[in-house]
Amino acid sequence: MTAHHFIFRQNTATQQDVLQHFTQCDREFFTQLQQRVDIGSYIEKILSAAERFEIWDGAELKGLLAAYCNCEQRQNVFITNLSVTLDSQRKGLASQLLRRCILHAEKEAYVGIQLQVNVTNNAAYQCYIRHGFRETHISEHDRTMYLSLGVSIV
């Protein structure tokens, strides 16, 4: 599988696509997700309220970034999920999804992007750092990170 086979889409995945994607991600990710949320409800919330940036290989959803962009004051986007299936990792797909989300937030004139990443997920943490995110808070389980987009609040 090479990068030129991947197709980028926005907001096309179904509930079944997202569930299958989550289960194809590594076991640790899925276990942690199940411990924090009811998977069915979480997927419904993503489908109804999040902007979804997707990477497909044929009929398979390989990468998903879900971000809540529904703040009326257009202050901050909140990334609730960034995941890439195990077989598609280390190909730059997470970075491509993140860049698409950042461009969307800039185009829509949001002030910044916020997210939380598990303290044990160093690969994701380093990816966010490379894209300009800075750590704003750390707890026992998560790091809160923020990217300022340089848009002033009116």
Q: Quick: pLDDT tens for 97-130.
A: 999 999 999 999 899 999 999 998 899 999 999 9
pLDDT at residue 1 greater than cutoff 80: no
Give the integer Cα–Cα distance in Å for 48 and 90: 30
Beta pairing partners, 76:
112
Percent of the chain with pLDDT over 90: 70
pTM confidence score: 0.89
What is the tens place of the pLDDT at every residue in 69-80? 876 666 899 999
Q: What is the pLDDT of residue 35?
A: 82
Q: What is the pLDDT of residue 73?
A: 63
Which residues, 6 or more positions from 38, have their beta carbon under 8 angstroms from its beta carbon?
none
